[in-house]
Amino acid sequence: MKWRGFTSLIIIIISGTCFLYAANSHAYGSIQVRSFKLATADSGYAVSINSAIELNPTLEQALEKGVVLYFVNKFTLVESRWYWFDKEVARIKTRTGLRYHALTRRYILSDHTFSRSYTTLSDALVALQRLRDHPLTIYHELRSNVQYNATLRLWLDLTRMPKPFQVEALGSSAWNLSSDRLEWRMALPTPDQPFSISIQQ
């Protein structure tokens, strides 16, 4: 498998913990991964992610107009196979909607399992930035003696927005909100040692 390098990232792995140092500064309006953890759970494995999400004025105005902003977290584990195509063995993919309810003047976060409201946009973003113990969906048997290729990315999903805003987004960088695509190799965590990543800005 051919890996794409990132000149702005330095990766250091110490005792199962990976520290990523991001050198590039982000324009106003950004998504940054701050930390990641994969740990064992009763039913298999669970993922936790901390991020930093900053909206720019264009996105805030869209919220006030009633547009729902959908944010995606995606983590995958892929097994490399020299004799055949690489195989995705596990993943999580969450999609959470953020909207403003003008009548109640509250910000609402929702997905297919929950809906919560907040008095301020800041409070809603704090909640949006935290994913806790989300079950890892396993497609193929996971093995403790295998080094897997892991990828992680967070982004604003433009495909779920109304068509007029999708057209507007094509010509404006203000709508292209995404974290860097992070890639690393890892073994499965054990009950005594979860796998974690911290990113220093």
pLDDT tens-digit profile of 139-186? 999 999 999 999 999 999 998 887 877 777 777 788 889 999 999 999
Report if residue 191 sits inside a domain.
yes
pLDDT at position 85 is: 85
* pLDDT for the residue 112: 84
- pLDDT computed for residue 196 by the predictor: 95
Average pLDDT on 5-33 reads: 51
Tell me what pLDDT residue 201 has.
64
46 in any annotated domain: yes
Q: Is 195 a domain residue?
A: yes
Decide which of 5 and 157 is more confident. Answer: 157
Domain that holds residue 13: 9-200
User: Which residues are CB-neighbours of 186 under 8 A, at least 6 positions away?
Assistant: 18, 38, 147, 148, 150, 195
Q: Quick check: is 120 in a domain?
A: yes
Cα dihedral 115→117→118→121 (10° resolution): 70
- Give pLDDT, residue 88: 97
Residue at 3 is within a domain = no
- Residues 6+ away with beta carbon under 8 Å from 160: 68, 70, 95, 97
pLDDT higher for 86 or 4? Answer: 86
What CA–CA distance (Å, rounded) separates 119 from 165? 26
- Ranking 20-29, 112-121, 139-148, 174-183 by mean pLDDT, the lowest is 20-29
SS (H, E, C) the chain: CCCCCCCCEEEEEECCEEEEEECCCCCCCEEEEEEEEEEEECCEEEEEEEEEEECCHHHHHHHHCCCCEEEEEEEEEEECCCCCCCEEEEEEEEEEEEEEECCCCEEEEECCCCEEEECCHHHHHHHHCEEEEEECEECCCCCCCCCEEEEEEEEECHHHCCHHHHHHHHCCHHHCCECCCEEEEECCCECCECEEEEEEC
Task: Note the pLDDT tens digit of each residue in 30-48.
Answer: 999 999 999 999 989 999 9
- How confident is the model over 113-135, as a mean pLDDT? 96
Structural domain contains residue 74 = yes
Q: What is the pLDDT of residues 50-98, one digit of tens each?
A: 999 999 999 999 999 999 999 999 999 999 987 788 999 999 999 999 9
pLDDT of residue 18: 52
CB 201 within 8 A of CB 22: yes
16 burial via Cβ count (<10 Å: 0-12, 13-18, 19+): middle
Q: Dihedrals φ, ψ of 195, to 5°?
A: -95, 130
Give the pLDDT confidence score for residue 172 in this predicted structure: 76
In a domain, 4, yes or no: no
Say if pTM beats, i.e. exceeds, 0.85.
Answer: no
Residue 56 in domain? yes
**pLDDT value of position 167:** 77
Domains identified in the chain, total number: 1
- The model's pLDDT over 188-201, given as tens digits with 9 standing for 90+, comes to 999 999 999 998 76
